[in-house]
Structures are given as structure tokens and as C-alpha cells.
Amino acid sequence: MSSETRTEEPETADADADAESAGETQRQPHQERRLERKREQARQRDLTEEARLEVEEADETVSLKVFRYDPEVAGKQEPRFDTFRVPFERGMTVLDALIYARDHFDSSLTFRHSCQQAICGSDAFFVNGRQLLGCQTQISDLDEPIRIEPLPYYDVLKDLVVDLDDFYEEMRSMDPYLQPDDDPPGELAERRQSRQNREDIKMSTRCIWCASCMSSCSIYGQGEEYVGPAAINVAYRFAVDEREPAEVTAERIQRIDEEDGVWRCQTQFSCTEVCPKDIPLTQEIQDMKREAVKRNLKFW
């Protein structure tokens, strides 16, 4: 064996060792992931078993029929309803029941939620045929089985999650922010508003962008080029606010006086009925119509 070959031997051995250790390193995360998946499946089985016993022993249970649809998973692309039976507790909301079902029976059940205090507006569903906030709706107020569906008129992305791009676009088209023409006088000075003016916009400021009103409106839902009640509420909230200059107010009124604005409303009151914050939306739309007419009147 030549000295040259001898000097190569350890290098080949090192390379083999390196390759082996690289393969080992690659295998490790893979094995780790498999183990983790197995641990998770075992945990899920335990939770389901625990829940099954809880349901058996519970004094009262509640039955949920939940809309399911997952366009990305083979075999689940057909819309269907799954039934979950969960133990009932006093004070339980629709969102609590959904969370229980997801955490104990099917971790793939998908829905939005966040604050659980009727503030973020993310958990509006179509419950027993009506737009309701999951976290604000008591199970005890509903008839069984409780049927939970995604908001109507919006495309379903998965289970109870809908595509709200159009909703946000309409809301943004109303410039949903205060546009004063100057800074308040003096450093750290407040921008004052009269008590009466604050009172006038009070209800409109309660909007939590849950899209319930939009999803209840057949004019908006049938693609009639209508900005919808929530967007008009934004226009109202700022048009009435005395801290904006007259030109900005005029622009806001003009915006909702367009073809897709207030004149599309047929005073069905469905938006007002479903608003979880009791905003008098139909009334606001009528007020905006009156304001638009007043501004268009000409005297010769």
C-alpha cells in the first residue's frame, strides 16, 4: 500500500463517519417528529376517553351539530355536519362547548376566537339559524340540537372559518379613522368633544367588526354591490363626529350616497336584529339617507 493511499484511508473513514453522523442527525429530527406525533395521538386518545367518561357521568349534556368542511384534506371536501355531545355546565357558552369538542374529540375542528368577552368580534357563527357571537351566547338559551354553521354569504375556508377579505375591504373603503385638520392646541392637549356629540356617536363606536350584520343582509349577501351595514356604521360614526372638518364630513356623506351606498338598503332590519352590540344600524342608515338628501337639495 502506498504512503499516498495510507494517507487517504483515515480521510475516507472520516468522511464515512461524517456521512453516518449527518444521516444520524437527519434521522433524529424525523424520529423525534414521529415520536412527538405518537405522543400527541396518545394524549388525544386519553382526552377523548376522559371526555367520554365525563359525558357518561355528567348530569346534563348538550348536543352540537357542527358544520365541517376541509377543502385541503381528501375525504373531507364534502360539507357535512358532525355531532358532538359535551357535558353541560351552568354558564356555558357556545364557544365553551366548541372548545370542549375541539380539545377532547377532534383537534382538527377549526373556528376563530380570541377575547371570549364579546370584544374582538372573531367568533360570530350562524347558530340555530341566527348570527350570534359564540362567547356571548348561553347554551341554556338555545334549543337542542344546537346547529352551528359558518356565517352565511361568505366563502368557507375551513369548518367555521370564513373568508372575510370582502368585509375588511368594505370597512377600509370608509377610512375608519378620525381625520382632523389640525393638531390639538398645545403640547399634550386633548382633542375635546362635547358630551352631546359623544353621546350621539356612542352606539356606533361599539362596533366590533364581527360581520354579523353584513352576513344577515340579503342585499349585501346577494352580491348587489352594496357596502353593507357595518361599513355605513363606520361612515356614520365619523360623519357625526364633530372633531372632523366639514370637508371630510362632506366626503364621507358623498361616499355613502354613491350607487353602492345607503340607497341599496331596503330597511329589512335584519342587521339591527343580529347586532351583538345593539347598534341601531337601520336607524343610522336612514339618518345617513336623510343627510345625503339634505346635502343634495338645491334652492333656486
Residues forming contacts to ligand FES in the complex (CB under 6 A) are 113-116, 118-123, 133-135
Exposure of 298 by Cβ count < 10 A (0-12 exposed, 13-18 middle, 19+ buried)? exposed
Whose Cβ is closer to ligand FES: residue 261's or residue 276's?
276
SS3 149: strand
What's the min distance (Å) between Cβ of 187 and ligand FES? 37
Whose Cβ is closer to ligand FES: residue 121's or residue 228's?
121
Rounded to the nearest 10°, the torsion over CA 86, 89, 91, 97 is: -10
Question: Edge-to-edge strand order for the sheet containing 61-68?
Answer: 80-87, 61-68, 146-149, 124-127, 130-133
Name the residue with cell 375635546: 192
Whose Cβ is closer to ligand FES: residue 157's or residue 219's?
157
The count of other CB atoms within 10 Å of the CB of residue 279 is 24
What's the min distance (Å) between Cβ of 123 and ligand FES? 4
| Cα–Cα distance, 143 to 198 (Å, whole number) | 39
Q: Which amino acid is at 165?
A: D
CB 80 within 8 A of CB 68: yes
Whose Cβ is closer to ligand FES: residue 137's or residue 270's?
137
What's the min distance (Å) between Cβ of 210 and ligand FES? 7
Whose Cβ is closer to ligand FES: residue 281's or residue 285's?
281
Sequence length of the chain is 300
What's the min distance (Å) between Cβ of 203 and ligand FES? 18
Name, in order, each residue with C-beta under 8 angstroms of 253's C-beta and a sequence gap of 6 or more: 235, 239, 288, 291, 292, 295
Q: Which helix H or strand E contains 124, and what residues bound it? A: strand 124-127
What's the min distance (Å) between Cβ of 233 and ligand FES? 17
What's the min distance (Å) between Cβ of 95 and ligand FES? 6
Whose Cβ is closer to ligand FES: residue 120's or residue 161's?
120
Q: What angle do CA 201, 271, 121 make, to 5 degrees?
A: 70
Whose Cβ is closer to ligand FES: residue 55's or residue 98's?
98
| Cα–Cα distance, 300 to 298 (Å, whole number) | 7
Query: What is the gyration radius of the CA atoms in the chain, in angstroms?
Result: 29
Q: Please give the grid coordinates belonging to residue 252.
A: 364621507
Whose Cβ is closer to ligand FES: residue 96's or residue 244's?
96
What's the min distance (Å) between Cβ of 111 and ligand FES? 10
What's the min distance (Å) between Cβ of 177 and ligand FES? 21
